Amino acid sequence: MAATYDFPSDLLAGQEELHQVRAELSALLKRLPWSVVPLDGFSDEGGWRKVERPASPGWTEDEQAEVEKLRRREHELAVFVSGHRFWAEVTAPDRTDARSSLKHEHEHAHEKD
């Protein structure tokens, strides 16, 4: 049976927000053109797989600012979660399991609802 951990509420909140920010950033990057700057399209059939890209109009200043804002917040949250004082309370051999458990805690929280 896997160990259970009594994660502090601020650590749980930080991890949950990190999940949300990463999902939002991923969705935004999927919507944006493939190139940050305007570039012509291309087709390359000479490699091991065909690669094609349509012309890219590039990202607007607002899009670039939104991506930067989300990346900055993602970094802040990752530093907060990974450097949280809670990890000092977990023995070194158990930290990997505890960190994995924290990453999946939101899945278990929804099961309880």
Which pLDDT score, from 0 to 100, does residue 1 have? 43
Confidence of residue 107 (pLDDT cuts 50, 70, 90): confident
Mean pLDDT of the chain: 92
pLDDT in tens, 83-95: 999 999 999 999 9
* Per-residue pLDDT tens digits for 45-79: 888 888 899 999 999 999 999 999 999 999 999 99
pLDDT higher for 47 or 12?
Answer: 12
Q: What angle do CA 33, 75, 5 make, to 5 degrees?
A: 125
pTM: 0.84
Tokens of 34: 């493939």
